[in-house]
Amino acid sequence: MVFNSLAFVAFFAIVLAFMAMPFAWTTRKIILLVASYLFYMAWNPPFVILLWISTVVDWYAAQKLVHAEREVVRRAWMLLSVVANLGMLSYFKYGHFLLQNFSELVSVYGVHYVPPTWDIVLPVGISFYTFATLSYTLDVYLRRALPARRFLDYALFVTFFPHLVAGPIMRPTELVPQFEIERRATRRQLQFGLVLVLLGLFQKVVLADTFLSKAAEAVFDTGQPTGALDAWIGTLAFSGQIFCDFAGYSTIAIGVAMCLGFAMPDNFRFPYAAVGFSDFWRRWHITLSSWLRDYLYIPLGGNRHGPARTYLALMGTMLLGGLWHGASWTFVVWGGLHGIYLSVERFLRGRFGGFRPGPLALFALGLLTWMLVNVTWVFFRARTFGKAWDVLAGMVGANGDAAPILSSMLVATTLLIVTGIVAAHWWMRRRTLESALLQVPAVPLAMGMGLMTFLVIIAQGEGSAFIYFQF
């Protein structure tokens, strides 16, 4: 079940109705838990078993390790959780990838190995909920948090449907305490939550699916050489598409949770106005970048053991972050490029730490950041290295004899929308969405909401899945 479908509209209306009834808080939490399981089972019912396994193993491991007296026992229970979660993730997401690469590796030494056919479907959202449950056990093990007092609260944290399949990646300390105390959405929360849902749907259905996807698909899914204009427009289109798709999902998720009386953290803060790559990762997929920082970068040494160790930690974190996005070397290169960017930025900050750019220089640095981020999107979107090199060659004018792919109308539309997205990010760079909406008078705000509603309806989308569902 996807947010941009009539099935979800009906599902959400029923959930809201049940949560508004005068049931006891425990009863309403059970209803919410059952609804979350039904939401997930709408994709593939058997995969709910993986949710149960992850929930039970982590709950039991956390309870045991917190009461263990010997460190070796505590570590054993923590490792049980890590192995169970990463084992499921590795099997379903990386099994075929590992077999293929093993086959290619042994072929170098003259061994002919044909891996078996891999017909296993990737469970939707497995990358997200395994990271969420892992943070629970690791935080308890590191004594950064106490285990949940009630199994129901923890099970609801794992399966809470707004964040279940594509984030934001919640920490137990952010959500479990909210389930312990009875909550009902206020009128203000309901209103603002519905505004967020509408805004997210507009980003997904109108901008990402209706306007931007066509140019990206035409460039990246063709076998013909790509000219300079087509390469740049296709890449910019995907840049806007993936933001509107994923930020749209996060916005809907936060709005849905707010309508139910719960708060979830921001996952995007206008990243295309970032100045520098550390700033970009403070604005893009914030809950993932903070997870990688706390559970990978810092354990790898962080910035506590000298420059060389810091650069290795940065590269290791971003390479694994790229692999988290998909079982393909193109994703690893995407993460590696971001690791190089972050390392170079750190080096330059160490050499020119006293430099304070003026407004024009700040904008120039922001524009450079955005253009280099677009280069990384080529590897994120291309299905093969061959296509990635073709698009990159086109971007520098090396495919001079390439025939045009995109129509003039598609080029103009893409440029207009992407320019609007980047301009909006710069205007909102130091603002929050809530503060900006509060400054808009009621009549223009209502007209804007009405227009977005109309555009979402006439877009007549087919409820296409969000891009990040494949990760």
Chain mean position to CA 344: 25
Q: Which ranges of 95-171 would DSSP assign to H, the alpha helix?
A: 95-107, 126-141, 151-159
Amino acid at 381: R
What sign does the CA torsion over 43, 49, 51, 52 have? positive
Q: Kindly state the DSSP code that residue 284 receives in the 8-state scheme.
A: S
The two tokens of residue 453 are: 């509603």
- Interatomic CA distance for residues 248 and 250, integer angstroms: 5
The two tokens of residue 417 are: 């929308």
Count of H-run helices and E-run strands, the chain: 20, 0
Amino acid at 332: V
Amino acid at 27: T
- Interatomic CA distance for residues 229 and 234, integer angstroms: 8
Q: How many residues does the chain have?
A: 471
Q: Reduced to 3 states, what is the DSSP secondary structure of residue 158?
A: helix
The two tokens of residue 147 are: 């285990």
Specify whether 163 is catalytic: no
Exactly one of 285, 325, 338, 425 is catalytic; which is it? Answer: 325
Contacts of 261 (CB under 8 A, 6+ apart): 19, 183, 184, 185, 186, 189
Q: Kindly state the DSSP code that residue 120 receives in the 8-state scheme.
A: P
Q: Reduced to 3 states, what is the DSSP secondary structure of residue 350?
A: helix
- Interatomic CA distance for residues 399 and 432, integer angstroms: 42
- Residue whose tokens read 């450079």: 368
Catalytically annotated residues: 325
